Amino acid sequence: MSVFTFVCVDTSRAMSNLGHMNEVVAMESAGNYGASVAVHGTPVVNGLAYGPVIRPAPSPEFDIDAGAVVAEADREAEAKRFAAAATTVADRFTARASSSTGSSAEVLAATASLAKDRAWIGTANTLIADGTPAAAATVAAIDKIAEMFTKLGGLMAERVTDLKDIRDRVVAEILGLPEPGIPNPDEPSILCADDLAPADTAGLDPARVIALATRLGGPSSHTAIIARQLGIPCVVAIAELDRIPTGGTAFVDGERGVVGLDPDVEEVAAAVAKAREAAAAASAWKGPGQTSDGHRVLILANVADGPSARAAAEPGVLEGVGLFRTELAFLDRGDEPSVDEQTALYRAVIDAFDGDKVVIRTLDAGSDKPLKFVNHPDEANPAMGVRGNRIATPHPEIRIHQLDAIAAAAAAATAAPWVMAPMIATVAEAREFAALVRERGLVPGVMVEVPSAAVQADQILAEVDFVSVGTNDLTQYTMAADRMSPELAALTDPWQPAVLALIERVGAAGTAQDKPVGVCGEAAADPLLACVLVGLGVTSLSSAPAAAPAVGLKLGSVTLDQCRAAARAAVAADSAAGARDAARAVLG
């Protein structure tokens, strides 16, 4: 295989993909490999990939004749044409969802239900009944809803990409055009795009699309989440991505956030050779998590349900679950799941890691994860609104039912699960939650996602048995920057020294009280940052399972003193980039 056609480097895939043609290896070298053009963005999944650039097929082009009116006699047929196209598109999403697993399946199923959503279909049907042609009615109906979602912000705004994707597919179907979206390349390729529709990223074949680079999207966007799951290098928020032409040959450096055009083949090949060695080592990493001088750190999995927990447990490397996002199982539910139903779900995850640590988070409903069965107040700023544990004030019974279900699921377990609440802001909230959890014989903890909780980590830890730092939200709230905003990706970077300083405070509180301090945000998936977190006093790292071996491997290559020195240097830096560089200088 020529290095011209394919080079991919990514420690995060090593465990599951060694031997696969899309070989995954760790990237050590820095540099632009003599590229003629290099553009920069926010790195989200480590690795180096090299190949021809492809872009999604454009949306169908057609003229909307504002004055066009379908004759009354033809309107029924027009409505049928529309219904057939909308159903075909929704069915395709459903079929792709059922042939996918994990978060890909969830994303596709969510898009399928959006494609069937009565709100936009009803609007389109009304327009068609008034004489608007089916394609124009589709565009008008979806654009109207998209505008509404954009105004709502947060997750709703994130779904605009899905909506537009549905619109383009339905219009193409109505007009008899080929389905828009990502081409199926003959050779392993770099996919560049403005932003990727979750439906497209979920269907990606990592043997064909070996890296992602987007002009928009943030570190927690769908693109980033799916890239992490697939284990392919990914850089987002690249303002100048248009300078990398389709058909050109480029590399994507997912560690430094660089995309370069026409790199020097020999230089890239050298980087790959070096990286292959590291990848082989990552694939051989079998735990347990510890520094080279034997300081133990639990390396855990973030999971969403029984199947994802079983998949995480299967290789026998990870030591438990650091974050079970329970709300993800109920995103499409119109009614509250019964206690029995919840019990079965929680038991599936506990059983997958029976005897090991399993940290279950109570529903983090609201903001970017609205649940239909929780009546959310209309809020101008939902990220700062009634979300997470705050939902228990208007709906105390929902939290009680969930804790009862967790206790029932725990009844047959070898070890009591740990239960933590999201979005805790005060000591009183932590105290109240801990009492409810203890009453049920479970181990209470809280997430540190709000800066106030980090500032008061001492008092909060006195109330609970453990804390877990949610770096995604802690970064969002510390930097006052929406985690979904592509424009603010540089601010929503967990390497921001202010964020690290808050984690330092939490780590010190944990050390002083000899209580566990975990990290379960995306920061725990970054091998270099993971070492810094350990240096700050963090005792467990929980991430997407695919990212864990690279983290474990890196940690095993440095001493605790090095982690501490890197942590001091990163906290003292004056920028996120400075913190990365300072840590790299110590940790290699």
| Residue 520 site contact among Mg ion, ligand PEP, none (CB < 5 to 8 Å, cut-off depends on kind) | ligand PEP
Q: In terms of CB distance, is 92 or 325 closer to ligand PEP?
A: 325
Q: Which stretch binds Mg ion (CB under 5 A): 391-399, 404-412, 450-458, 469-477?
A: 469-477
Residue 482 found at the interface with ligand PEP (CB under 6 A): no
Dist CA 273 CA 29 (whole Å): 10
Q: In terms of CB distance, is 32 or 223 closer to ligand PEP?
A: 223
Active site residue 520: yes
* Tokens 């409810």 found at: 436
Q: CB 585: neighbour CB atoms within 10 A?
A: 11
Pick from 200, 305, 473, 526: which binds ligand PEP (CB under 6 A)? 473
Q: Residues for the chain: how many in total? A: 588
Interface with ligand PEP in residues 504-523 (CB under 6 A): 520-521
Q: What is the DSSP letter of 290?
A: B
Tell me the binding residues for Mg(2+): 449, 473
Dist CA 552 CA 14 (whole Å): 12
Residue 106 found at the interface with ligand PEP (CB under 6 A): no
Strands 357-361 and 418-421 turn out to be: parallel
User: Which string of DSSP letters, residue by residue, matches 49-82?
Assistant: EEEEEE-PBPPPP----TT----GGGHHHHHHHH
Residue among 288, 297, 282 at smallest CA distance from 560: 297
User: Which string of DSSP letters, residue by residue, matches 256-296?
Assistant: TTEEEES--HHHHHHHHHHHHHHHHHHHH-----B-TT--B
**Which is catalytic among the residues 8, 192, 222, 531?**
222
Residue 482 found at the interface with Mg ion (CB under 5 A): no
Dist CA 490 CA 237 (whole Å): 9
CA contacts within 13 A on the Cβ side of 177:
17
Pick from 470, 510, 516, 518: which binds Mg ion (CB under 5 A)? 470
Pick from 167, 169, 208, 325: which binds ligand PEP (CB under 6 A)? 325
Tell me the binding residues: 325, 361, 449, 472-473, 483
Pick from 104, 308, 472, 540: which binds ligand PEP (CB under 6 A)? 472
Residue 471 found at the interface with ligand PEP (CB under 6 A): yes
Tell me the binding residues for phosphoenolpyruvate: 325, 361, 472-473, 483
Residue 473 found at the interface with Mg ion (CB under 5 A): yes
**Which is catalytic among the residues 8, 192, 234, 520?**
520
User: Which string of DSSP letters, residue by residue, matches 518-566?
Assistant: EE-SGGGG-HHHHHHHHHTT--EEEE-GGGHHHHHHHHTTS-HHHHHHH
Q: In terms of CB distance, is 470 or 507 closer to Mg ion?
A: 470
Residue 364 found at the interface with ligand PEP (CB under 6 A): yes
Residue pair 13/224 in contact by the 8 Å Cβ criterion? no
Q: Which stretch binds Mg ion (CB under 5 A): 162-170, 307-315, 317-325, 464-472?
A: 464-472
| Structure tokens that stand for 121 in this block | 């279909």
Active site residue 531: no
Interface with ligand PEP in residues 147-166 (CB under 6 A): none
Interface with Mg ion in residues 422-451 (CB under 5 A): 449
- Helices and strands, counts by H and E, the chain: 22, 17
Q: Where are the alpha helices (DSSP H) in 116-247?
A: 118-129, 134-152, 154-158, 160-175, 198-202, 222-230
Q: Which stretch binds Mg ion (CB under 5 A): 425-433, 467-475, 527-535, 579-587?
A: 467-475
Q: Which stretch binds ligand PEP (CB under 6 A): 104-112, 227-235, 309-317, 467-475?
A: 467-475
Q: In terms of CB distance, is 18 or 328 closer to ligand PEP?
A: 328
Interface with ligand PEP in residues 75-104 (CB under 6 A): none
Dist CA 348 CA 351 (whole Å): 5
| Structure tokens that stand for 283 in this block | 């694939």
Binding residue count for Mg ion, defined by CB under 5 A: 3
Q: Write down the least CB distance from residue 418 to ligand PEP, Å.
A: 15
Q: In terms of CB distance, is 115 or 488 closer to Mg ion?
A: 488
Dist CA 350 CA 179 (whole Å): 42
| Residue 250 site contact among Mg ion, ligand PEP, none (CB < 5 to 8 Å, cut-off depends on kind) | none
| Residue 47 site contact among Mg ion, ligand PEP, none (CB < 5 to 8 Å, cut-off depends on kind) | none
| Residue 305 site contact among ligand PEP, Mg ion, none (CB < 5 to 8 Å, cut-off depends on kind) | none
CA contacts within 13 A on the Cβ side of 381:
5
Q: Which stretch binds ligand PEP (CB under 6 A): 36-44, 194-202, 470-478, 559-567?
A: 470-478
Q: In terms of CB distance, is 387 or 554 closer to ligand PEP?
A: 387
| Structure tokens that stand for 389 in this block | 């544990």
For residue 249, the SS3 value is strand
Q: In terms of CB distance, is 364 or 463 closer to ligand PEP?
A: 364
Residue 522 found at the interface with Mg ion (CB under 5 A): no
User: Which string of DSSP letters, residue by residue, matches 349-367?
Assistant: HHHHTTTSEEEEEPP--BT
Q: CB 247: neighbour CB atoms within 10 A?
A: 8
For residue 204, the SS3 value is coil
Dist CA 462 CA 477 (whole Å): 23
State the residues that interact with Mg ion by CB under 5 A: 449, 470, 473
Q: Give the active site residues.
A: 222, 520
State the residues that interact with ligand PEP by CB under 6 A: 323, 325, 364, 449, 470-473, 520-521
